[in-house]
């Protein structure tokens, strides 16, 4: 803030510099409310200066440099009953209004919005987003909202604006008739409808909403879980075809666990068909000899865990442990454990002892 005094209590320069980025209104403080006739008033871009005289709105000044004299203060002259050239201090309150945009203000539904979806029936919706606001009528904003507050911030009006927004959002979403699954693709259009609906009410405060965004419209968590299951079923498609596909994939990979299970199941089915006098697929029985059954699935490789400095690693298979023994990362004293073993044991005391027969001894002289 920049201000000066001339002849004791008389203000000579009137201006306002703000770096808070959230102050919407600031009252110019001066001794005894005395303003010198002929004082300089500086109103910068993005500001307006409002004069209040004896509790009434007197003048509103836009950006520019003014000499407070009779010729540029017609309303004040009328209120004061000044004659031309009257040189005397006058008492008036001066409020500076920030007319720039205040961005990234948040809004969100406190309670779910009940709507009727054409596919799911009655649903509960939640929505949230952001908006920007600016003062378009400084005089109306001061008289309707600020009053005599010496410093007014954006937070003090945002609560009232959010209430107006939520009322219109609830109405628009409930009456839109847009399916829930299509709302994400229509948030821009819905946002324009809401912004148009709240504009007349916000204008009564001397404010406009240049930008309004609906960032997300969501369903309750339990409904989203059911929707996820339904989506999964849609991806799977025909369950019979899905099972046939899995069986064919298992036959193409006989080494996998799925392939072994499918092979065993087919062998059992073929045996039952042959016992009933039919072929493997219901055809006439084939001439002997019978095809040998598929080999059993190989046993799962044993997995080992290592413990070192209080930290366990693994599991490792035999090939990995052999490489670790050759590199010196695994020694006979290393503590190891595998399923079925009672507690941790030194690797040299287990069936892994054979790994160290391949490890060369230390080089001579070491």
Report which of 135, 132, 134, 136 is spatially closest to residue 103, judged by C-alpha positions.
132
Class of domain 304-358: alpha beta
Q: How far apart are CA 176 and CA 72, in angstroms?
A: 52
pTM of the entire predicted model: 0.55
Q: How far apart are CA 44 and CA 278, in angstroms?
A: 98
| Domain residue ranges of the chain, discontinuous segments joined by + | 2-98, 102-223, 304-358
CB atoms within 10 A of CB 339: 9
Q: What is the CATH number of domain 102-223?
A: 3.30.479.30
- The stretch 13-25 carries a mean pLDDT of 88
pLDDT reading at 278 higher than 80: no
> Tell me: the pLDDT tens digits for 315-366?
888 888 888 888 888 888 888 888 878 888 888 888 877 877 766 666 666 5
Q: How far apart are CA 334 and CA 39, in angstroms?
A: 90
Indicate the pLDDT class of residue 75, thresholds 50, 70 and 90.
low
Region of residue 33 (left: phi > 0; alpha: psi -120 to 50; beta: else): left
**Between 296 and 103, the higher pLDDT residue:** 103
Q: What is the pLDDT of residue 280?
A: 47
Q: How far apart are CA 152 and CA 25, in angstroms?
A: 5
Q: What is the pLDDT of residue 128?
A: 93
Q: What is the pLDDT of residue 70?
A: 59
Give the H/E segment covering residue 46.
none
- The stretch 161-189 carries a mean pLDDT of 89
Q: What is the pLDDT of residue 255?
A: 60
- The stretch 135-147 carries a mean pLDDT of 91
């Amino acid at each position: 803030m920049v201000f000066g005094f001339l002849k004791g209590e008389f203000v000579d320069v009137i201006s306002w510099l703000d770096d808070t980025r959230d102050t919407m209104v600031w009252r110019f403080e001066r001794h005894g409310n005395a303003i010198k006739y002929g004082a300089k008033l500086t109103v910068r871009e993005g500001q307006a200066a409002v004069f209040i005289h004896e509790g009434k709105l007197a003048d509103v000044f836009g950006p520019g440099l003014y000499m407070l004299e009779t010729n540029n203060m017609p309303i004040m002259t009328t209120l004061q009953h000044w004659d031309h050239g009257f040189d005397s201090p006058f008492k008036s309150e001066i409020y500076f209004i920030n007319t720039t945009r205040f961005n990234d203000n948040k809004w969100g539904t406190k309670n779910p919005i009940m709507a009727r979806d054409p596919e799911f029936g009655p649903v509960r919706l939640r929505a949230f987003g952001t908006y920007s606001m600016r003062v378009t009528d400084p005089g109306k904003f001061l008289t309707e909202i600020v009053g005599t507050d010496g410093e007014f911030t954006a937070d003090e009006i945002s609560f009232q604006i959010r209430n107006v927004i939520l009322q219109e959002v609830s109405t628009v979403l409930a009456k839109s008739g847009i399916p829930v699954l299509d709302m994400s693709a229509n948030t821009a259009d819905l946002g324009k409808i809401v912004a148009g609906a709240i504009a007349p009410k916000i204008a009564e405060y001397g404010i406009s909403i240049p930008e309004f965004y609906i960032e997300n419209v969501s369903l309750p968590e339990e409904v989203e879980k059911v929707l996820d299951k339904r989506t999964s079923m849609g991806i799977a498609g025909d369950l019979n075809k899905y099972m046939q596909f899995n069986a064919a994939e298992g036959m193409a990979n006989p080494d996998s666990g799925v392939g072994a299970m499918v092979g065993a199941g087919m062998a059992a089915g073929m045996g039952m068909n042959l016992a009933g006098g039919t072929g493997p697929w219901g055809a006439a029985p084939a001439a002997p000899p019978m095809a040998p059954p598929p080999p059993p699935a190989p046993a799962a490789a044993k997995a080992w865990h290592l413990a070192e400095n209080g930290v366990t690693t693994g599991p490792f298979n035999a090939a990995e442990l052999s490489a670790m023994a050759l590199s010196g990362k695994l020694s006979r004293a290393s503590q190891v454990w595998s399923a079925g073993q009672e507690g941790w044991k030194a690797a040299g005391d287990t069936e892994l002892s054979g790994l160290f027969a391949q490890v060369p001894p230390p080089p001579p002289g070491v």
